[in-house]
Structure 1
């Protein structure tokens, strides 16, 4: 008999390893929770110790194929073996613990162990059923559908939206009683995604807002973006624009905005705290529109978010725009969007479009947090490298060319 010991995070992980190493005839002899690692007895992590064995003459069959819609006989066999092991463990515990009374109650420790095994078995069944469904769905998809799914995964679109789109496209194929080719499928996907984005399309900075605040992490290009928008408002709309900056943390940040202000002939006020704001507003009382630059901070921190929010106080009609760079990590952008959405900030402007080929984060943030995209900025040219967000053009970037994907 071959006996092997495994240290894993959870039982399903061990089952996969056991089947690979020992084959489908292996049985689990014992499972228990242990603690490993740490330093001088502290900071130890909980792990599962699993003891498995197989008869020496048993054949090794790892079972590489995932089950279909229902768990395969091999998976059921493993689960049944675990159940049998649990029963044997309970029986052994009963033998090793002689009763002090004719009919003793089951010990708390034994009950905990049995409940732990039952929970692990339930988790294992759910895990296997999930894998079965995924594999079955994968086999059911056509080649164009698989290609579309792969494209959206590469674009880092959340699996929630990918699955929803694939399901909707599959229903569309059923209604049409045929399988779409690549061009047809891409066209239908484009139409559906544009419908999803329709409630958030054509957002813009409110024409009624006299003060517009721009917030966002450091390095996303807020200052350059403000200069682009100021040029657009001054040249194309003939409005008198003024600048306020509170970005006194970053070296040369004030000088950068002052340079743009001199080029555009726009007055600039610098504030160091919320107490300086009334004076700044008074100095720009003749301006039609005031664009305020705020300091880029680590907005994964609630404290830094609240510090910036304290600067966004104004008796004038105002709104705030969150600025995010498309070169940032999707997970980090999601955390920042969540932080600011708590304060009612719903408009977003994405920068550095020219520095990435991955666009899924835009849709993820729009659909999850209800953000309204206003502009897409790309490059450093003022005022050219900025344009209004258009759902149709964005979806084309997201899907790419059907012929070349």
Structure 2
């Protein structure tokens, strides 16, 4: 540990010297008022003695270029320093008290002031480190970080992305331009997402179950996919719905079924499923709509999961709306992933400008995105998930 003593007129002066000579990670160990100069004890001047230290392996570390602190940050720091100086003076020049006061309150008063100085000192160190972390990034990297956080990409992934770009800058011994940084970000995101792209809904299964919270657009999405299969692919499609909780849900799907000339079966319990499959045995592909529930509750997830067991080749697709809260979507995905649900379809792309939840769900729960849906037009407002298109949504115009 490297320890150094400073004699200054005021504490703020010492702080500036300490940060300049020892670095931003230095800590103040002790402060006290002393008298210097004079003749035979007279005419001496009051000074402040400050003892500071830093770990040896951190000493003489070159300071990185820093962004100029904001006026508000400077003002806050000056207020803290002023408070430290005032409280330190109170310790060194305590008020005159009676012997009784000395017996009862003097020690407690001094200890309280010392504790306050210690707390303020720790806060100053924390503030200094936070400011250093903030200003260590270049303007271009900081802008990218802020953009991704606004897109609600989780901090762990933002930090990993920023560090990956910094590592490449260090490797090439040059600072990248804004265009280069955003291009590198796009390439890194694509590299992370590549294992989860291009999966889609399997063409080998006969039954596809659609699950998800209420109001995410499952019924309309099923109609879009059915129209694609019947009109464009010429396949024989059938519908099953278990969404008997909402009065209009069955009628809505029946309307689509009539337009597409697709048979519809309604089931009220798992016991009704064999009958429904028997009625649709000539259909090549069956889409099953399930009731929307509060799937943040694992109980509701297990209830709907009981409807998904069939002897047919099948898979389940989780439908989520991009207008939902990121934390709620994560909770739903977490519950369904416990039952092996790995495919997800996102709706209402046109109703939001925040797309980070897609990335979070893919990376945190190893979900495979199948489609992105937007609007109410059947069958046009739905597209297969494309990594490049999604990254353009996520990074915005700055990535172009």
Alignment TM-score, normalising by the size of structure 1: 0.70
Contact in 2 for aligned 1:71/1:128 (Cα 8 Å): no
Aligned pair count? 305
Distance in 1, Cα, partners of 2:399 & 2:300: 46
Equivalent residue number for residue 295 of structure 2: 299
> For each residue in 1:362-385, what CA deviation from the matched residue of structure 2 results, as whole angstroms up to 9, or x when unmatched?
000100000000000000000000
How far apart in 1 are the matches of 2:175 and 2:231? 51
Q: Look up the match of 1:169.
A: 165
| Superposition map of 1:204-215 within 5 A | 204-215=200-211
Gapped regions of structure 2 (runs ≥ 5): 1-9, 31-50, 53-83, 92-102, 105-117
Aligned partner (choices 25, 28, 33) of residue 73 of structure 1: 28
Does the aligned pair in 1 maintain the 2:27–2:125 contact within 8 Å? no
- Going from structure 1 to structure 2, the CA distance change for 1:175 and 1:269 (only over 3 Å counts) comes to same
Distance 1:242 1:154 in 2: 42
Residue deviations 1:167-208, cap 9 Å, x none?
A: 000011112211111111111110010000000011211111
Q: Is the 8 A contact 2:186 2:399 kept in 1?
A: no
Deviations 1:107-133 (A, max 9, x none): xxxxxxxxxxxxxx99x97x8877654
Match of 2:317 among 307, 316, 321: 321
Structure 1, unaligned stretches of length 5 or more? Answer: 1-57, 86-94, 97-120
Q: CA deviation at 1:361?
A: 0.4
Aligned-partner Cα distance in 1 for 2:333–2:339: 10
1:326 Cα shift? Answer: 0.3
Deviation at 1:135, TM superposition (A): 2.8
1:322–1:345 Cα contact (<8 Å) kept: yes
Q: Are 2:341 and 1:386 aligned?
A: no
Match of 1:397 in 2: 393
* CA–CA distance in structure 2, aligned partners of residues 207 and 288 of structure 1: 10
Q: Distance in 1 between matches of 2:264 and 2:197?
A: 32
Shift of 1:310: 0.4
Matched, 1:309 2:305: yes
RMSD: 3.0
CA contact (8 A) 1:351 1:378 kept: yes
TM-score by length of 2: 0.71
Question: Do structure 1's residue 140 and structure 2's residue 95 form an aligned pair?
Answer: no
Match of 2:342 in 1: 346
Partner residue in 2 for 1:366 = 362
Show the 5 A alignment for 1:267-278. Answer: 267-278=263-274
* Bigger-Rg structure (1/2): 2
Matches within 5 A, 1:189-200: 189-200=185-196
Q: 1:366 to 1:285 in 2, by over 3 A?
A: same
Check whether the contact 1:212–1:292 (CA below 8 A) recurs between aligned residues. Answer: yes
- Counterpart Cα distance in 2 of 1:254 and 1:71: 68
Aligned 8 A contact 2:295 2:301 in 1: yes
